[in-house]
Structure 1
Amino acid sequence: MNSRRIMAAFPSAADEQVTLANWRQHPFNEWAFRNVRELLPTANIARAAAPAPLSFAPRYLDDVSFANPRGETVGVGEALRASHTDGIVVSHRGQVAFEWYAHGLTPDTPHLIFSVSKSVAGTLGGILADHGKLAPDAPVTRYIPEMEGSVYGGNCTVRHLLDMSVGIRFDEDYMARDGDVMNYRRSTGWELPDPAVPPSNLRDYLRTLRPNGAPHGETFHYVSTNTDVLGWVYERACGVSYAKILSHYLWQPMGARARRLHHRRFTRRRPRRRRHLRDTARSHPLRRDDAQSRHQQRTTGRPRLVDRRHQAERQCRGLVARRPDESVSKRQLPQQVVHARPARNAVCRGRHPWPVDLHRSGQ
C-alpha cells in the first residue's frame, strides 16, 4: 500500500483508514504516530514561555558508514531509509549537528515516544525528590492507600517502581494476542475492547495485579504498569495532574519550544507522550554530567538521577534478570534509564523503536 494515501482523503477508503485495530502496524503507524491525538484522548503539557534557543552546527552524515548486524557496510542515509525511520536529531556539544525527517514528520511535528516516557518519568522523579515532594524509599501505599491488597501494596516502595524490581506476576509479551499485555492495553484504550470482557480503566486494572512470589528489590522485571503506578504516585504526592507536574518541574524549566501531549483515558493517566525531536535535543543536558550542562540542570533542580549514576550502576549489577533477554536489553534500568557500559552511556528505549542514546564521552 502507498503510505501517502493513508488518511489522505476525507473520508478515506476503508483500507486507508487508521483505527485502533491497525494504528501500531506499518504503514498505518507512519500517520498514527504523528496524529495520536486523533485516535486517543490526550492532555496538554504546557511549554516554556521563552523556549531555550538551539544552536546549529550542521554536518553531512548521510555517507558516514558503519557495519550493520549482518556485517554489511551501509551509510547512515541508506540505513535510515531502509529502517523506515521517521526522524533523527544528532546533538553534539550542545549544538544540533544533524537532522533527518521522513514520512510527514517535520521539526514542528510531534511524534509518539512510547517507553522513552519511562526515562522522562524517572528524571521527573529525581527532580521531585530534590524538591522534597517525593520520598523514593516510601511505600507506594503512603501515596495510594487503595493499592493495598495488590502487588503494589505491603512493602513495595517507590524505588522498586523506579528500578523495575517489583515482584509482579505479569508477562510483557507484546506479540501475545491474549493475556496480560492485551488486558493492559484494553484498560488504556490502546486496543479495541473485547465484547466478552467488561469495560475497565487503568487504575482499576492496576489494583488487580498480583505478586509472583519474588521479593521486591531483588529481581529485575520490566513491566510497563510500574511506570503507570509511578505517575499516579507523583499525582498524589503533588496534588495535581501528571501533565501539570511535568510542565512545571521539567518541560517549562528546560525551555521546551513545543507543547507536549500525554495520553489520558477514563480515570487514569498513562505516561505515553509525544514530543518534537528538537525538544529531545533540548533535554539532553539534563542527563549529561559536565560543566556545559550545569546551568540547565540547576534551573530544573538538578535531577539526582544524574548525581547518583555510579550508585545506580552498582544497583543494576546486583539485580537478577527474570529472563535472559531482559539481561541483554533492559536489565540496567535503575531510575527508568538503561545505563550502558562501557563509557557510562545512557540509553532511553521505546517501542518500534524509539531510542534516545546519550554518549557522555563523545558529548
Structure 2
Amino acid sequence: MRPTEIMRGSPPASEAQVTRANWRSFPAIRWGFTHTREVLPTAEVRRSASPTPMRSAPRELSKLGFTAPDGQPTTVEATLRETFGDALLVMHRGTLIHEWYGDGMSATTPHLICSISKSIAGTLGGILAARGLLDLEARVVRYVPELESSVYGGCTVRNVLDMAVAIKFEEDYEDPAGDVARYRFSSGWDVPPPGVEASHQRAYLTTLRGTGKPHGKVFHYVSTNTEVLGWVYERACGMPYHHILSEYLWQPMGAEEDGSLTLDSHGMGRIAGGLSVTARDLVRFGEMIRCRGVVEGRQVVPGWWIDDIHENGDPKAWADGDLAEIFPGARYRSKWYTMDPSRNDLAGIGIHGQWLYIDAASDTVIVKLATQPKAMDVPLDHRWLAAFRAINAHVAPR
C-alpha cells in the first residue's frame, strides 16, 4: 500500500487504518507522524501571540550535487526522495532560502520530531537555571525524592542532561521485549501484549537500576534520562512540562503554530520524544540557538548556556560511550550533539530521520524531517550529514 492511501475513505479500509498498534510502522508512519494528536492523547504547547517574522529569499538547492559516503554522486532532491523525506528547510543568516515539503506536509503541518525533543528540553534547562529555578549540580532526588531507590537516586541534574547516568538500560528500538519496549508501554506509545501491565511513566522510572559504576564518566544514550529531567523541571517550576515549555521558551521564541506533547495514562508528557511542531517553528528554534539565544533583540535563552553547549561536551565520555563508532570525534552536552568540533556545529537528532543541524561556520540552520521505516538507519544519517555539509559549502563558500 502506498503512503498516500493511508487513512483515506469513510471509514478507511482496515488495512489503511492507523492505530496505536501500527502508527510508527511503515507505511502508516507517514500519516502517524503528522497526525499524532489523532492517535495518542496530547497536551498543547501554546504558540506566541506575536510570531517572529520569517524572512524568505528562495534559492535553488534541490539540484545541488554531492558525493554520498558510499562514493556515489547524488543530489539533495534524490536524497529526499530515497530517504523518505517529509520536509527540508534551510535558513542562512536568518533568511529562509529553501523550503520543501513532501506529500501530506505543508508550512502549518505539525510533525513528530522524536528525540529533537531532547535538545529542546536541554535548552529549557538553561532558562530555568538562569532564573534560579534549577540547580544543575543538585541531586535529582532533591526535586523528585520518589526516585531515591532507583538509579537516579545517586546522580545529578547535570548527569541527566549529559546522558552520563550509569544505568542498566539498552536503547534497542528493535527488541520487542527489551527496555525500550517496556518504556513505550508505560508512555502509552505501544499497546502491551496480553499479560503485560502498561503501568505509567513515573512508576516505570522508579524501577530503573544502575550498573554500580560512577555517574558522569561515560556517555550512555538512554531516553528515560530525559523523562526524569522533565519530572525535575515540573517539580522545580510547579507546573506541567508542556506549560513550562510554552511559557519559558515556545512563546518567547515567537512560535507561529501550536505544538503538542504526547501524554501517558497519568498525564505525564513524553519529554524525550513526544513533541510535534511545524518545520518552520523548528527552524525558528534553531536560528535562536545559532544567535546565542537571541530572537529579534530579545534574550530568550542565556548566551552562556549556548556557549557551554558548544564548549563543554566531554570528548572522553563520548569516546567511551555508545555512539563513538557511529560518529567518531563527536561530543554531547545538555542534550545536543557536536558532530564536528572543528566547525563548532550542533545537532538535534531523532529516530526515523529527524534532524536539526546548526552550522556556526556557515551561519546555516537546516531542518530535515522524515518517516524512515527503520528507527535507526546509520547509512542514511551519514548521507544526510554529507548533504548538510554540501549545502553549507554552497550557501557560504569559503
CA 288–18 in structure 1, closer or farther in 2 if over 3 Å, else same? same
d(CA) in 2 for partners of 1:89, 1:327: 25
Q: Deviations over 1:218-250 (max 9, x none)?
A: 111000000000001000000011111001110
> 2: distance between equivalents of 1:273 and 1:2?
26
Partner AA of 1:277 in structure 2: A
Deviations 1:285-329 (A, max 9, x none): 332256xx745574314254312135413x244555333656627
Cα distance in structure 2, aligned partners of 1:265 and 1:295: 33
Measure the CA separation in 2 of the matches of 1:285 and 1:5: 36
Q: Which amino acid aligns with 1:39?
A: V
Q: For the residues of structure 2 that align with 1:329 and 1:193, how far apart are their CA atoms?
A: 37
2:100 alignment partner in structure 1: 100
SS of 2:331 mapped into structure 1:
coil
Are the aligned partners of 1:222 and 1:326 in contact in 2 as well (CA < 8 Å)? Answer: no
Which residue identity does 1:360 align to in structure 2? A
Residues 295, 177 of structure 1: alpha-carbon distance in 2 compared, 3 angstrom cutoff: closer
Residue in 2 that maps onto 1:168 = 167
Q: Deviations over 1:248-307 (max 9, x none)?
A: 1100111000001011122222121001011112112332256xx745574314254312
User: How far apart, in 1, do the equivalents of 2:329 and 2:317 lie?
Assistant: 14
How far has the Cα of 1:10 moved from its partner? 1.6
Paired with 2:54 and 2:328, the residues of 1 have a C-alpha distance of 32
After the TM superposition, which residues 1-363 of structure 1 pair with which residues of structure 2 at under 5 Å, given as runs?
A: 1-154=1-154, 156-267=155-266, 268-271=268-271, 272-289=274-291, 294-296=294-296, 298-302=298-302, 304-313=304-313, 315-323=314-322, 328=327, 332-341=331-340, 342-363=342-363
Which stretch has the larger CA shift, 90-99 or 13-22?
A: 13-22
| AA aligned opposite 2:281 | D
Q: Runs of 5+ in structure 2 lacking a partner?
A: 364-398
- Give the direction of change, closer, same or farther, for the CA distance of 1:241–1:359 in structure 2 (3 Å limit): same
Let me know the Cα RMSD of the aligned residues: 1.8
Partners of 1:254 and 1:299 within 8 A in 2: no
Partner Cα separation in structure 2 for residue 340 and residue 228 of structure 1: 24
Moved over 6 A (4+): none
Whether the aligned pair in 1 keeps the contact of 2:150 and 2:209 (CA below 8 Å) is yes
SS in 1 for 2:96: strand
Q: Per-residue displacement from partner, 1:93-144 (whole Å, max 9, x unpaired)?
A: 1000001101201001000000000000000001111111111000000100
Q: How far apart, CA to CA, are the structure 1 residues paired with 2:325 and 2:113?
A: 20
Q: Identify the residue that residue 379 of structure 2 maps to in structure 1.
A: none
Structure 1 pair 303/44, CA: closer, same or farther in 2 (3 Å)?
farther
Distance of 1:326 and 1:305 partners within structure 2: 28
The answer to whether the Cα contact below 8 Å between 1:316 and 1:331 also exists between their aligned partners in 2 is yes
Q: Once the two structures are superposed, what CA deviation does each residue of 1:43-96 show, in whole Å capped at 9, x if it has no partner?
A: 001110110100001001111101112211111111111111011110001000
Q: Does the C-alpha gap of structure 1 residues 306 and 63 become closer, same or farther in structure 2, counting only changes over 3 Å?
A: same
SS at match of 1:43: strand
Cα separation, 2, equivalents of 1:139 and 1:182: 28
Deviation, 1:146, is 0.7
TM-score, normalised on structure 1?
Answer: 0.94
- Contact 2:56–2:96 (CA<8 Å) still a contact in 1? yes
Unaligned runs of 5+ residues in structure 1 are: none
1:297 and 1:169 map into 2 onto residues whose CA distance is 44
* Paired residues of 2:318 and 2:332 also in contact (CA < 8 A): no
Q: Secondary structure at the match of 2:354?
A: coil
Counterparts of 1:50 and 1:261, CA distance in 2: 19
- Could you tell me which amino acid in structure 1 is paired with residue 280 of structure 2? R
The alignment of Structure 1 onto Structure 2 pairs a total of residues equal to 359
Distance in structure 2 (CA, Å) of the matches to 1:88 and 1:297: 27
Which deviates more from structure 2 when the two are superposed, residues 330-339 or residues 251-260? 330-339
**1:361–1:219 CA distance, 2 compared to 1 (3 A):** same
Residues 86 and 310 from structure 1, CA distance in 2 versus in 1: closer, same or farther, beyond 3 angstroms? Answer: closer
